[in-house]
A and B are shown apart, each in its own frame.
Chain A
Amino acid sequence: MEPHQNTGDDRDPGLQPERTRLAWRRTTLAGTVATVLAVKAALNGGPDAPGITVAALCCALWLAFLAVAHQRIRVLAEGGEPTTLTPRIAGTAALCTVALAACAVALIL
């Protein structure tokens, strides 16, 4: 029983994908909190047309973010050796975040 022989396939292969899956889940939760704050800010001055538009936009961004996160979570939950994250998913997630910030700037100015 050499302690250092436990590399590669001997190590629990489910652990890393699961940790990554949970990291995606945490990230969607953080996104949800930010979206709730965004919608609250947008509808703060009464539900007028620009406020509703921004709120709807934020919800759409949140749904897009959830969609890519769910796609990735499904791949990670499948078991076996997961594929590498694609730049498309990473880019979409980051762009949704940036667009949410743009909505915030529009609300403040």
Chain B
Amino acid sequence: MGKVLQVIEFRRNIQLWFAPERIKEDGRTPDYRFSLANERTFLAWLRTSLALIGGGFAVDQFLPDLRWAWRAGLALGLLGAGVLCALRAVNHWVRCEQAMRRGEDLPVSRFPALLSIGVAIVAVAMVVVVLFGWEG
């Protein structure tokens, strides 16, 4: 049941991305400083995403001696994290904006924890691969 509600909420959020006027139907406009802070958080997540994507390019570019499977795996892991980060940045921004308009608590999320675990796994894999897997 909770899962179904989540899916409905998610679809509603995606519809909001493309129908900006509908975000204004809810509640009251919050203090513009809160909106700007929310915008900066969105941009910080977008930079994180760009950094992960840049890291994906870098792994593919600067570890040419690595076996292809390892190189592609690490690069795809970073790129996937970057894509998730960018999509999540927009979704979280919309949810925060709505919560502020309705005067609700800001949404909590386990995404930062999952992302840091993912990045840690990629980093450990990279250390192992560079130390032992060189030349494959």
CB atoms of A88 and B87 under 8 A apart: no
CB atoms of A37 and B57 under 8 A apart: yes
Chain B interface (Cβ < 8 Å from any Cβ of A): 16-20, 23, 29, 32-33, 35-40, 42-44, 46-47, 49-51, 53-54, 56-58, 60-61, 71-72, 75-76, 79-80, 82-83, 86-87, 89-90, 93-94, 97
Across the interface, which residues of B come within 8 angstroms of A40, CB to CB?
A: 57, 61
Question: Nearest-CB distance from A42 to chain B (Å)?
Answer: 9
Question: Nearest-CB distance from B132 to chain A (Å)?
Answer: 22
Which single member of B20, B40, B42, B87 contacts A98 (CB below 8 Å)? B87
> In the complex, what distance in Å separates the CA atom of A90 from the CA atom of B91?
10
Q: List 20 A-B contacts (CB under 8 A).
A: A19-B40, A20-B40, A20-B43, A23-B44, A37-B57, A84-B32, A85-B42, A86-B20, A87-B16, A87-B18, A87-B90, A87-B94, A98-B86, A98-B87, A101-B56, A101-B80, A101-B86, A104-B56, A104-B75, A108-B76
Instruction: Please list the 3 inter-chain residue pairs (A to B) with the smallest Cβ-Cβ separation, ordered nearest first.
Output: A37-B57, A97-B86, A34-B54
Which single member of A82, A88, A102, A104 contacts B60 (CB below 8 Å)? A104
Question: Nearest-CB distance from B58 to chain A (Å)?
Answer: 6
> In the complex, what distance in Å separates the CA atom of A87 from the CA atom of B35?
12
> In the complex, what distance in Å separates the CA atom of A85 from the CA atom of B54?
26
* 8 A Cβ contacts from A20-63 to B: 20, 23-24, 26-27, 30-31, 33-34, 37-38, 40-41, 44
CB atoms of A44 and B61 under 8 A apart: yes
> In the complex, what distance in Å separates the CA atom of A46 from the CA atom of B86?
31
Which single member of A16, A20, A27 contacts B50 (CB below 8 Å)? A27
CB atoms of B35 and A85 under 8 A apart: yes
* Interface size counted on chain A using CB atoms at 8 A: 38
CB atoms of A97 and B97 under 8 A apart: no
Across the interface, which residues of A come within 8 angstroms of B46, CB to CB?
A: 27, 30, 93-94, 97
> In the complex, what distance in Å separates the CA atom of A81 from the CA atom of B30?
12
Q: 13 extra interchain contacts, Cβ-Cβ under 8 A, other than A19-B40, A37-B57, A90-B94?
A: A16-B33, A27-B50, A38-B57, A40-B57, A85-B42, A87-B19, A91-B90, A93-B46, A97-B46, A97-B49, A98-B87, A104-B53, A108-B71
